Amino acid sequence: MAGRGYSIFDTGIGRCGIAWGDLGVVGVQLPEAREIDTRRRLFQLYPDARELRPPDNVEVAIEGIVTLLRGGDSDLSEVTLDMTGIPGFNQRVYALARSIPRGETRTYGEVASALRASGAVYSVAQAIVRNPFMLIVPCHRVLEAGHYADKISPNGGAISKRRLLSIEGTRPTASKTLFDVLLPVAPPRSPT
């Protein structure tokens, strides 16, 4: 590999993008509503990348992503990631997320505990939201407490965690209701 490259490829949910550099994959972009928006996002994130034919390591990642988004099982653990500039804590979160088997989920709190950083639930959530390696690092398998799966990360395009988990055959808890959102913050009523 020489410099940064990117490629756009077809999947069962739309046209995805992947970018790479000399050290490995630097990012994956799930489809936006239109292909031009996916390309625009890749250009914003990796302005120095050129559209190129993917090298072997990246081709393996593309094939794995396509298989996963078709509902198949694919092992992406051997795909080399370029973690340059990614904080050490986030790298640890991504390594743990990569070990979560297909069909299973963990909460932010469970990931924090597994990393022996039980007070770092917010930091885990932030690392997951900033994951540039969508699907290779299966951040959709890491959910908030209660196993709610409605949030979309920035590199997720128009695809939600719920949809990705559904493709994998996993059923997260139903969406939050208005009561789930308001009751935890509503002041308790005094008995009258």
Q: What are the Cα distances from residue 192, in Å, to 182, 185, 189?
A: 22, 21, 9
Our answer to whether residue 16 is catalytic in this structure is no
- Indicate which residue of 26, 127, 135, 139 is catalytic: 139
Do 144 and 155 form a contact (C-beta atoms < 8 A)?
no
What is the spatial distance between Cα 41 and Cα 11, in angstroms, rounded to a whole number?
Answer: 18
> Residue 147 CB: number of other CB atoms within 10 A?
15
What token pair was written down for 152? 């979309």
Which residues are catalytically annotated? 139
